[in-house]
């Protein structure tokens, strides 16, 4: 009798969890890289029990150290929780994690929710959402902005597409990893907002880089110029995030060129589908391809400056002895 009662209680708790009750406070993350690992760590700090999966041994060890319980497949993640975040490099990997041989689709019950925080196309997001809906599984496309620093600090800007009620249920998860979370619209709206974000961020870096190279070629102190303009109209989060790193010649990736090149490729594909000319974005995509061909593919997108440095035969750096 006691066993029957216990099983009944577990069933009720599981149902509450499926409908957003967060009784068990369990969350899965597939993809424990530059962004996924700190997001998982922040979920652990917020009191969630986090189950993670990644193909990288290094990523797994780092996640373990922050308190993440590691499982050996995406399917196993779905066996442990009904709330799963995917943070992966591209559409094909996202689709494989969800629908592949060892994918989530084989273990997630009806009422579960998949939150894709990868940067893919709106068309891909809508297709994934439709396929999950057939299994009565909820889907939110929720890409993020803020790079590795934002992921570490838990201050990511999160752009969400999906059902309002599902978004409301998922809010405690978003609050643990983000500073601001906005429901932009239906499925696909989050990824559309992220593409627009990537256009603005990367073109901002490109314009900043061109200006820095002009100033460096003229021989002025770049750090003093940066301090002079950062509080004016040219000031921005991008300027403050990237100029100090460029001056230190630090191109360790917070947002890899490879990822941003993929995002700009998605921008152009979406723009062509919508018949929207994007001459500046198309030029920047070619700059990314040039940087890739010259061996900079795994550097931070602040390395856009190297393209302009090469054209002008100058290096943007601090004056000797300056800090």
pLDDT above 80 (res 10): no
| Every domain of the chain and the residues it spans | 2-187, 193-312
Query: What mean pLDDT do residues 6-30 have?
Result: 53
Degrees, nearest 5: CA angle 152-97-92: 95
What pLDDT does 323 receive?
A: 54
CB atoms closer than 10 angstroms to residue 245: 16
* DSSP letter assigned to residue 301: G
Active-site positions?
Answer: 194
Fold of the domain built from segment(s) 193-312? 1.10.1040
Task: Count Cβ atoms within 10 A of the Cβ of residue 182 and give its class: 0-12 exposed, 13-18 middle, 19 or more buried.
Answer: middle
Distances (CA, A) of 197 to 22, 144, 181, 201, 257: 31, 9, 14, 6, 15
CB atoms closer than 10 angstroms to residue 101: 9
Distances (CA, A) of 88 to 92, 143, 252, 313: 9, 11, 19, 37
Contact between residue 77 and residue 108 where contact means Cβ atoms under 8 Å apart: no
**Per-residue pLDDT band at 17 (split at 50, 70, 90):** very low
- pLDDT digit string (tens) for 205-242? 999 999 999 999 999 999 999 999 999 999 999 999 99
What lies within 8 Å, CB to CB, of 58 at 6+ separation is none
Q: Is the dihedral of CA 127, 132, 135, 139 positive or negative?
A: negative
**Per-residue pLDDT band at 50 (split at 50, 70, 90):** very high
Architecture of domain 2-187: 3-Layer(aba) Sandwich (3.40)
- pLDDT digit string (tens) for 80-113? 999 999 999 999 999 999 999 999 999 999 999 9
Distances (CA, A) of 288 to 51, 94, 273: 35, 23, 22
- Of 143, 149, 117, the residue nearest 252 (C-alpha): 149
Any alpha helices (H) in the chain, and if so which ranges? 2-18, 36-45, 57-65, 74-80, 91-99, 122-133, 147-153, 164-177, 189-218, 222-229, 237-247, 257-273, 279-293, 304-312
pLDDT above 60 (res 11): no
**Per-residue tokens: 39:** 């997001």
Query: What mean pLDDT do residues 300-319 have?
Result: 95
Query: What mean pLDDT do residues 295-315 have?
Result: 97
- pLDDT digit string (tens) for 195-205? 999 999 999 99
Query: What mean pLDDT do residues 147-162 have?
Result: 95
Fold match, 2-187 / 193-312: no
**Per-residue pLDDT band at 14 (split at 50, 70, 90):** very low
pLDDT above 60 (res 5): no
What pLDDT does 94 receive?
A: 97
**Per-residue pLDDT band at 321 (split at 50, 70, 90):** low
């Amino acid at each position: 009798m006691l066993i029957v009662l216990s099983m009944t209680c577990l069933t009720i708790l599981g149902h509450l969890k499926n409908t957003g009750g967060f009784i068990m406070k369990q969350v899965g993350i597939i993809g424990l890289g530059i962004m996924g690992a700190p997001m998982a760590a922040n979920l652990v700090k917020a009191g969630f029990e986090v189950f993670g999966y990644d193909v990288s041994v290094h990523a797994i060890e780092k996640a373990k150290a922050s308190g993440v319980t590691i499982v050996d497949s995406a399917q196993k993640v779905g066996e442990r929780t009904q709330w799963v975040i995917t943070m992966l490099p591209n559409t094909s990997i996202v689709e494989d994690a969800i629908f592949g041989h060892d994918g989530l689709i084989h273990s997630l019950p009806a009422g579960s929710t998949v939150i894709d925080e990868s940067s893919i196309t709106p068309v891909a997001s809508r297709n994934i959402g439709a396929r999950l809906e057939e299994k009565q599984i909820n889907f939110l496309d929720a890409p993020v902005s803020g790079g590795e620093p934002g992921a570490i600090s838990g201050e990511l800007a999160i752009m969400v597409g999906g059902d309002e009620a599902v978004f409301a249920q998922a809010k405690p998860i978003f609050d643990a990893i983000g500073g601001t979370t906005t429901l932009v619209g239906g499925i696909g709206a989050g990824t559309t907002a992220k593409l627009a974000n990537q256009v603005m961020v990367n073109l901002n870096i490109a314009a900043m880089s061109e200006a820095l190279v002009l100033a460096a070629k003229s021989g002025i102190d770049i750090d003093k110029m940066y301090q002079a303009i950062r509080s004016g109209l040219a000031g921005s989060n991008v300027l403050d995030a990237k100029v100090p790193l460029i001056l230190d010649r630090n191109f360790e990736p917070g947002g890899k060129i490879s990822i941003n090149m993929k995002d700009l490729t998605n921008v152009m594909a979406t723009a062509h589908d919508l018949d929207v000319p994007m001459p500046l974005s198309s030029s920047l995509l070619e700059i990314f391809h040039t940087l890739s061909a010259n061996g900079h593919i795994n550097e931070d997108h602040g390395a856009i400056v190297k393209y302009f440095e090469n054209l002008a035969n100058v290096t943007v750096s601090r004056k000797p002895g300056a800090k």
